[in-house]
C-alpha cells in the first residue's frame, strides 16, 4: 500500500510540554485525515 504520511514512534516536545509521544501513523494515498490538537 502507498502512504502519503508514515511515521513510527514520533515524539515532539516544546520546553517541558510533551506534545506528541510515540505516535505511529500511516495515512494511505487518497484518504483524508485530520490531526488536531488543543489549538485546533
> What digits encode the pLDDT tens for the residues 1-28?
899 999 999 999 999 999 899 999 999 9
Lowest mean pLDDT among 2-6, 27-31, 33-37: 33-37
Percent of the chain with pLDDT over 70: 100
Residue 23: inside a domain, yes or no? yes
**Separate counts of helices (H) and strands (E) for the chain:** 0, 2
Question: Does residue 40 form part of some domain?
Answer: no
Local structure of residue 36 (DSSP, 8 states): -
pLDDT of residue 39: 79
Residue 27, judged by CB atoms within 10 A of its CB (0-12, 13-18, 19+), counts as: middle
Apex 14 CA angle, 19 and 28, nearest 5:
40
32, pLDDT greater than 90: yes
The boundaries of the domain holding residue 24 are 1-30
How confident is the model at residue 35, as a pLDDT? 82
Number of folded domains in the chain?
1
Amino acid at each position: 500500500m502507498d502512504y502519503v504520511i508514515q511515521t513510527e514512534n514520533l515524539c515532539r516536545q516544546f520546553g517541558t510540554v510533551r506534545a506528541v509521544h510515540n505516535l505511529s501513523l500511516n495515512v494511505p494515498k487518497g484518504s483524508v485525515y485530520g490531526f488536531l490538537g488543543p489549538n485546533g
